[in-house]
Chains A and B, each alone.
Chain A
Amino acid sequence: DIQMTQSPSTLSASVGDRVTITCRASQSISSWLAWYQQKPGKAPKLLIYKASSLESGVPSRFSGRGSGTEFTLTISSLQPDDFATYYCQQYDRYWTFGQGTKVEIK
């Protein structure tokens, strides 16, 4: 099974900060990686697919990079609506989620 490890688990930041979340795969997954945002009591929302492709309607302050085993999600200027939990997901072999990164207000 492919394991996905996110870091950090929690991130404290302020509005306007540049924020980066890292996701590492236990083996190469090429670019078969997605990022989701989830707010309490809501379903996850797709932000990025195929490591760096922005889902339609997602603000351009979100960006994804990486391939192989190391990936990042960057929010260029954190907005109040961005405080949430973020998950990476591999879909190279079946589907696996990372454990999540909670972005909270500093």
Chain B
Amino acid sequence: QVQLVESGGGVVQPGMSLRLSCAASGFTFNYYALHWVRQAPGKGLEWLAVISYDGNNEYYADSVKGRFTISRDNSKNTLYLQMTSLRAEDTAVYFCAKEGSGNPSFDYWGQGTLVTVSS
């Protein structure tokens, strides 16, 4: 069965960096685009970034462009999100998500990892 497992969250001070990971299993990893989505406490879902199946194309939401970098290692079946210059407003649960077959909605999601930016 498809599994996406995020890790790397925690408490970090403003201005610091953090790297999240999403370990995937149960599907052919290098066939699918992957995304990061976040949800601030008590708020809605915010799409952050996408990376193509081969890692050659990336797109970002304006709110994180220039600060966050999405990447993947198809040999390790792992997706990453490098976050720099973190701000209090980046505090959220971060989810990774997989696109569906031939359909760019998100058919599988990880359980999420909490990032808290606080001094």
Contact = CB atoms under 8 A, between A and B. Distances in A.
Given A49-B100, A94-B59, A95-B47, A44 B107 contact: no
Contacts of A34: 105-106
Given A49-B103, A50-B103, A97 B109 contact: no
A87 interface: yes
Contact of B110 (A43, A46, A55, A95): A43
A97 B45 contact: yes
Contact of A44 (B46, B62, B103, B106): B106
A95 B103 contact: no
Interface in B33-80: 35, 44-47, 50, 59, 61-62
Contacts of B111: 42-43
Residue of B35, B95, B109 most packed against chain A (CB within 10 A)? B109
A103 to B, nearest CB: 15
Size category, A interface? 20 to 34
A96 interface: yes
Size category, B interface? 20 to 34
A89 interface: yes
B15 interface: no
Contacts of A38: 45
Contact of A46 (B46, B50, B62, B105): B105
Interface in B65-116: 95, 100, 103-107, 109-112
Residue of B44, B61, B110 most packed against chain A (CB within 10 A)? B44
B95 A49 contact: no
Contacts of B50: 94-95
A96 B37 CA distance: 10
A91 B44 contact: no
Interface of B: 35, 44-47, 50, 59, 61-62, 95, 100, 103-107, 109-112
